[in-house]
Amino acid sequence: MNDPRLHVNEEPSNDFLDVAIGLGATFGLFFLMALVATIIKIYV
C-alpha cells in the first residue's frame, strides 16, 4: 500500500503567480471593455 504522504506533486504551481496573472487578465479585459464603451459613447 502506498503512503499518500510520499506523493510528489507532478505539476508544481506558483499560486501567487496564478492569481496575479488571473487578476491582470481580468483587469485588462474590463479595461478594454470600458475603453471600447467610452470610444463608442464619444463618437456615436
- What integer pLDDT is reported at residue 1 of this predicted model? 66
At 30, which amino acid appears? Answer: F
| Residues 3-44 pLDDT 10s | 777 777 777 778 899 999 999 999 999 999 999 999 999 998
Q: How many DSSP H helices and E strands does the chain contain?
A: 1, 0
- What integer pLDDT is reported at residue 3 of this predicted model? 79
Single pTM value for the model? 0.65
Q: Which residues of 29-39 are buried (b: 16+ CB within 10 A; e: fewer)?
A: eeeeeeeeeee
- What integer pLDDT is reported at residue 2 of this predicted model? 77
Q: For the chain, what is the mean pLDDT?
A: 90
Q: At 17, list the grid cell.
A: 503567480
